[in-house]
Chains A and B, each alone.
Chain A
Amino acid sequence: MRTEQSLFRQREGWLHSNNPLQKTTFVLALGGIDIIAKPEIFEAIRMRYPDADIILSSTAGEIHDNAVYDESVSVTAIELEHTQTRVLAFPVTDHANSYDCGVAIARQLQAPKLKHILIFSDGHRINGDDLIQGINSEVGPEVIVTGGLAGDAGRFSGTRVGHNEIPVDNRMVAIGFYGDRLQVTHGSQGGWDPFGPIREVTRSDKNVLHELDGENALEVYKRYLGPRAEELPGAALLFPLCILNDHHEHQLVRTILSIDEASGSMTFAGNIPQGSEVQFMMSNFDRLVDGANSAAVVASEHCTDLPPQLVLMISCVGRKIVLNQRVEEEVDAVRSIYGQQPAYTGFYSNGEISPSRGVNSCALHNQTMTITTYTEH
């Protein structure tokens, strides 16, 4: 595997790593919501990698090498020597629901030696939980499924995803990796702690939350956000919801996708089952950086003695809001594990996809740093 990275910034223009590839397999282009859909961006990438599969996704911040940028485009071209790939792209509206999308992806990518599926999905309308359950229904735990929901700078008004095209709304892209010589590892950690009273979800419909303890959920959020309620829906990322299991243990973290002032409802990136018990979560800088570090440690534990050649970081938009000026420290935490050698790319997303810890099947996560590493040998 060989990689070439480029960064586009409005003021500086294109900056290439000048590490030309002989035969580019596919290109990941992760960019700000206002810039990624510009035709000249796609055209520039196509010109440089005429034969490669180009995958584009909007973000809430781009991770490129050791820095985090806003409204830039981070491009990573990848040349695989011993691994075949196959890319699927379709509008999420082609299927009745997110579950069916998942089933369709898994069935179409299913082939001998399928090792890994990488997902870039619309991050506004999709129900990540259902999507992943659909995939899980078709593939076994030996296939590592990771990826993320596209971001939109925390506005929650619409994302863009594309495959060999200018990225659009409602798009779903999945890449299948086939072969024995690709090593994929993953790690996912949060760094959030529950606080305050445990609340019961008294009214919800799949990933739309209406009431907590009989009170309008949006009102509860507003009360807690105080003056920052004006920053909704992005401000809601400060208080992700922790869904507790029967033993009152922290099970899954759910973060908001959008709000509806008229009905007082909130749409989350995954399901909030009615009757379940939830608790607000909060974090601070140190906890989040520790979380990123832990994710890298977990992913590295899966590695053989070969160091990763590419590290893909998909981190949650909520973390970026809390970390603010210090957001790069979580990138540094990851880099402190893998060193200078690998190529680093990634983005701040509306939701992360990776296998749950202890459970091999894939799940949707929120508020985590999710790391996928790639090595070809």
Chain B
Amino acid sequence: MEDNMELHRLLNRQIQKHLAVPEETMKHLHGLLHAISQSYVQFDNDRVFLEHAMMQSSNELLSKKQVITNLLETQTKAIESLRASIAGLIPDSHLNANDDIMAIATLLQNEVEGRKNAELQTEQINKRISYLLNSLRLGMVEYDLTGKIERAHDKFYEIFEWPSESLTGECISSLVSGNGEENYLNKFLGSFASSDGIVLELPLATYNRKVFWALCSIAPVYDPKGLRKGSVMVVFDINAQKNLEAELRNERVKALEALEIRKSIMANVSHELRTPLNAIVGMSSLLKETPLNPEQSEYVDTLNNSSNGLLTLINDILDISKIESGALVMEKTTFSLHQSIHTLRKTLNVKAQEKGIKLRLITDSDLHGYHIGDPTRLNQVVTNLVGNAIKFTSKGSVDIIVELVEDLKTDQVIRISIRDTGIGIPEQSMKSIFQKFSQADLSTTRQFGGTGLGLNIASEIVQLMGSEIKLSSQLGSGSTFSFTITLPKADAPEQDVPQVPQNKSLEGYRILLVDDNNVNLFLAQIILKKWQAQVTTATNGEEALKAMHNSKFDLVLMDLQMPILDGFEATRIVREELKDLTPIIAFTANALNSEKDMCLSIGMNDYLTKPIQPDQLFLAILRILQNNEQLKTA
């Protein structure tokens, strides 16, 4: 061991202080002292070393703490900003300042979970919508305010035959085919301004500009703030329906044309039939008034009956034609139901007496004096029903019963029943007898005659009056036909319908008779002359104008269909160009309401149909002449 090695300072001091031994002894203690000194040194070194290590560790921990502090500060700021963002993003988050990042994480996790679920739900709803749209064949498209497509559903692509996903950004208007007509596009563009949903039928164009029709339902779409952000349109292909509709329209036009043709044929036929019939009826009437021996008288009666029968048939056919074409319109005039039925019974009573049966009229005393309705058509129905009743009753009676069912403030509900004691109608025929050309039994026709049209016409007329004919019958003991109509009450007309006087006289009146048919002309001339009128004749409109230019007339009887210048045109010239107000009565073989309206509209004063019914003619003339007299005296 080295002798010169220095001992630890502390040990040196301790030796000097506490160990007073001779130098020699010190030498013996050298090894021990040296080991003690080394322990001191080692202890010091260890202490310094550990202090150093602790200092290092402390510094390192301090700097790590600083790092952590900085990190914490950053995180606190981040959490603050996160909290603020969350408050904006999730308004009902209710985060408070004490909530740490774990609370935020939990909240966000829940929110994400919630949104995921919502997205999932939305996806399911979208799938459902897609499924519905597809299965209902509805194409749906959404577009913005400028018409730029934002989203189109699968079916929309299919309907428009566009490559998938390629419609986004396209202008919706380009899908609306103008189809050569600007107004469809304008109509569609109108939907941009409309705040309500609208439904349009529009011609649209596919990708290859194939045009098809679609039903388009367009509705506005708003953003969460309530501002209009675009529209949604649902499209349903109605091309097939549209084609069918067009076809039907064409068919209808054709049918209407056919109807028009038929009507004009009917009018012509009726004219052509009535003209000779007019002559026969007229002539036989005239013939009857000449002195005849009993044999001749019987012939004339037969002639008269036959021609009247023919006239009835023609009228029936005309009525059927009118009903079918819808041309039969109920008139609305004031009339006395009581008087009307009474007259009718008087007329038909003749036939009843011939068959030896009673025709009774039973009326309700509470019936109003006058009503508004169509007396002509009502008479026609009752006449038909009573006529039938008489026809099919061989003994007993036929009763006409007029009952007041209900007396309302302005209207009266009236039931008219015709009851007979005739052969009755088998149950299986009760419906079919109202059909055209139908009688209860084929043998009926042989036994009782008739066309089978009358009951059908009567039934149709009653329907037009808003009612229907009811039938109760017992085979062998009789039938009852009845119908109930509602008629408005009316005041008594100022001037009562003039009665045909016993002595008809038109003495001193100048009448211009215009007709291209010589027989008609002849017949009318005879009748008018019998009533002592001064008659001038013309065979067309031009002649009539000449005559009117040369002489003054009190009345003109004007046929309508005439060569050179027809009755319509002649009247128009008289009224418009000549400013002549001479009364003109239309006198035509056509019995169509449309014609009557036209006559009155161009300034004619009345309208009569051929064949000439002398009483009607006389009354019509009288009415107009008396009116004129009154005007003159006034």
A binding-site residues for B, Cβ under 8 Å: 195-197, 223-228, 238-239, 280, 282, 324-325
How far is it, in angstroms, between the C-alpha of A28 and the C-alpha of B297 when the chains are bound? 178
Q: Are A325 and B53 in contact (CB under 8 A)?
A: no
Say yes or no for B329: interface residue by CB 8 A criterion. Answer: no
Chain A: minimal CB distance from B38 (Å): 7
Q: Are B53 and A224 in contact (CB under 8 A)?
A: yes
Query: Are A197 and B60 CB-contacts (below 8 A) given A325-B35, A325-B38, A325-B42?
Result: yes
Say yes or no for B56: interface residue by CB 8 A criterion. Answer: yes
How far is it, in angstroms, between the C-alpha of A228 and the C-alpha of B54 when the chains are bound? 14
Give the top 4 A-B pairs by smallest Cβ distance, nearest first: A196-B57, A226-B52, A224-B56, A224-B53
Q: Are A197 and B64 in contact (CB under 8 A)?
A: yes
Q: Are A238 and B49 in contact (CB under 8 A)?
A: yes
Which residues does chain B contribute within 8 Å of A238, judged by CB atoms?
Answer: 49
Say yes or no for B310: interface residue by CB 8 A criterion. Answer: no
Which residues does chain A contribute within 8 Å of B38, judged by CB atoms?
Answer: 325
B residues 27-45 in Cβ contact with A at 8 Å? 35, 38-39, 42, 45
Say yes or no for B50: interface residue by CB 8 A criterion. Answer: yes
Which residues does chain B contribute within 8 Å of A225, judged by CB atoms?
Answer: 49, 53
How far is it, in angstroms, between the C-alpha of A197 and the C-alpha of B54 when the chains are bound? 11
How far is it, in angstroms, between the C-alpha of A224 and the C-alpha of B49 when the chains are bound? 9
B42 nearest in chain A by CB position = A324
How far is it, in angstroms, between the C-alpha of A338 and the C-alpha of B213 when the chains are bound? 109
B binding-site residues for A, Cβ under 8 Å: 35, 38-39, 42, 45, 48-50, 52-54, 56-57, 60-61, 64
- A/B interface sample: 27 pairs, CB < 8 A: A195-B57, A196-B53, A197-B57, A197-B60, A197-B61, A197-B64, A223-B56, A224-B53, A224-B56, A224-B57, A225-B49, A225-B53, A226-B49, A226-B52, A226-B53, A227-B48, A227-B52, A228-B45, A228-B49, A239-B53, A280-B53, A282-B50, A324-B42, A325-B35, A325-B38, A325-B39, A325-B42
Query: Are A196 and B60 CB-contacts (below 8 A) given A226-B49, A238-B49, A282-B53?
Result: yes
Which residues does chain B contribute within 8 Å of A224, judged by CB atoms?
Answer: 52-53, 56-57
How far is it, in angstroms, between the C-alpha of A2 and the C-alpha of B524 when the chains are bound? 176
How far is it, in angstroms, between the C-alpha of A239 and the C-alpha of B56 when the chains are bound? 13
Which residues does chain B contribute within 8 Å of A282, judged by CB atoms?
Answer: 50, 53
Sample of 19 more A-B contacts, CB < 8 Å, known A224-B57, A282-B50, A324-B42? A197-B61, A197-B64, A223-B56, A224-B52, A224-B53, A224-B56, A225-B49, A225-B53, A226-B49, A226-B52, A226-B53, A226-B56, A227-B48, A227-B52, A228-B49, A238-B49, A239-B53, A282-B53, A325-B35
Interface of B is mostly: helix
Which residues does chain B contribute within 8 Å of A228, judged by CB atoms?
Answer: 45, 49
Greatest chain A CB density within 10 A among B35, B39, B53 is at B53
How far is it, in angstroms, between the C-alpha of A371 and the C-alpha of B151 when the chains are bound? 81
Which residues does chain A contribute within 8 Å of B56, judged by CB atoms?
Answer: 196, 223-224, 226
B65 nearest in chain A by CB position = A197
B53 nearest in chain A by CB position = A224
How far is it, in angstroms, between the C-alpha of A226 and the C-alpha of B53 when the chains are bound? 8
Which residues does chain B contribute within 8 Å of A197, judged by CB atoms?
Answer: 57, 60-61, 64
Chain A: minimal CB distance from B411 (Å): 104
Which residues does chain A contribute within 8 Å of B45, judged by CB atoms?
Answer: 228
How far is it, in angstroms, between the C-alpha of A128 and the C-alpha of B173 when the chains are bound? 83
Chain B: minimal CB distance from A231 (Å): 10
B57 nearest in chain A by CB position = A196
Chain B: minimal CB distance from A196 (Å): 4
How far is it, in angstroms, between the C-alpha of A224 and the C-alpha of B55 when the chains are bound? 9
Which residues does chain B contribute within 8 Å of A325, judged by CB atoms?
Answer: 35, 38-39, 42
How far is it, in angstroms, between the C-alpha of A307 and the C-alpha of B424 when the chains are bound? 145
Chain B: minimal CB distance from A241 (Å): 14
Which residues does chain A contribute within 8 Å of B49, judged by CB atoms?
Answer: 225-228, 238
Which residues does chain A contribute within 8 Å of B42, judged by CB atoms?
Answer: 324-325
Chain A: minimal CB distance from B63 (Å): 9
How far is it, in angstroms, between the C-alpha of A223 and the C-alpha of B45 when the chains are bound? 16
Which residues does chain A contribute within 8 Å of B50, judged by CB atoms?
Answer: 282
Query: Are A196 and B61 CB-contacts (below 8 A) given A224-B56, A226-B49, A325-B42?
Result: yes
B64 nearest in chain A by CB position = A197
Which residues does chain B contribute within 8 Å of A195, judged by CB atoms?
Answer: 53-54, 57
A285 nearest in chain B by CB position = B46
Which residues does chain A contribute within 8 Å of B52, judged by CB atoms?
Answer: 224, 226-227
Chain A: minimal CB distance from B31 (Å): 13
Which residues does chain B contribute within 8 Å of A324, judged by CB atoms?
Answer: 42
Which residues does chain B contribute within 8 Å of A223, judged by CB atoms?
Answer: 56
B54 nearest in chain A by CB position = A195
How far is it, in angstroms, between the C-alpha of A227 and the C-alpha of B44 when the chains are bound? 13
Which residues does chain B contribute within 8 Å of A196, judged by CB atoms?
Answer: 53, 56-57, 60-61
Chain B: minimal CB distance from A355 (Å): 32
Which residues does chain A contribute within 8 Å of B54, judged by CB atoms?
Answer: 195
Greatest chain A CB density within 10 A among B35, B60, B64 is at B60
How far is it, in angstroms, between the C-alpha of A156 and the C-alpha of B56 when the chains are bound? 26
Which residues does chain A contribute within 8 Å of B35, judged by CB atoms?
Answer: 325
Chain B: minimal CB distance from A226 (Å): 4
How far is it, in angstroms, between the C-alpha of A223 and the C-alpha of B38 when the chains are bound? 25
Chain A: minimal CB distance from B7 (Å): 15
How far is it, in angstroms, between the C-alpha of A196 and the C-alpha of B53 when the chains are bound? 9
Chain B: minimal CB distance from A109 (Å): 43
Chain B: minimal CB distance from A40 (Å): 27
Which residues does chain A contribute within 8 Å of B39, judged by CB atoms?
Answer: 325
How far is it, in angstroms, between the C-alpha of A196 and the C-alpha of B39 when the chains are bound? 27
A322 nearest in chain B by CB position = B46
Which residues does chain B contribute within 8 Å of A226, judged by CB atoms?
Answer: 49, 52-53, 56
Chain B: minimal CB distance from A259 (Å): 18
B55 nearest in chain A by CB position = A226
How far is it, in angstroms, between the C-alpha of A277 and the C-alpha of B104 when the chains are bound? 29
How far is it, in angstroms, between the C-alpha of A157 and the C-alpha of B52 when the chains are bound? 28
How far is it, in angstroms, between the C-alpha of A239 and the C-alpha of B54 when the chains are bound? 12
Chain A: minimal CB distance from B11 (Å): 14
B43 nearest in chain A by CB position = A324
B39 nearest in chain A by CB position = A325
B52 nearest in chain A by CB position = A226
Greatest chain A CB density within 10 A among B39, B45, B52 is at B52
How far is it, in angstroms, between the C-alpha of A280 and the C-alpha of B39 when the chains are bound? 26
B59 nearest in chain A by CB position = A223
Chain B: minimal CB distance from A207 (Å): 24
Which residues does chain B contribute within 8 Å of A280, judged by CB atoms?
Answer: 53, 57
Which residues does chain A contribute within 8 Å of B64, judged by CB atoms?
Answer: 197
How far is it, in angstroms, between the C-alpha of A217 and the C-alpha of B392 when the chains are bound? 137
Chain A: minimal CB distance from B71 (Å): 14
How far is it, in angstroms, between the C-alpha of A225 and the C-alpha of B52 when the chains are bound? 8
Which residues does chain A contribute within 8 Å of B60, judged by CB atoms?
Answer: 196-197
Chain A: minimal CB distance from B1 (Å): 13
How far is it, in angstroms, between the C-alpha of A195 and the C-alpha of B58 when the chains are bound? 10
Chain B: minimal CB distance from A199 (Å): 9
B38 nearest in chain A by CB position = A325
How far is it, in angstroms, between the C-alpha of A226 and the C-alpha of B48 when the chains are bound? 10
Chain B: minimal CB distance from A236 (Å): 12
A198 nearest in chain B by CB position = B64
Chain A: minimal CB distance from B452 (Å): 112
Chain A: minimal CB distance from B39 (Å): 6
How far is it, in angstroms, between the C-alpha of A367 and the C-alpha of B56 when the chains are bound? 23
How far is it, in angstroms, between the C-alpha of A195 and the C-alpha of B52 when the chains are bound? 13
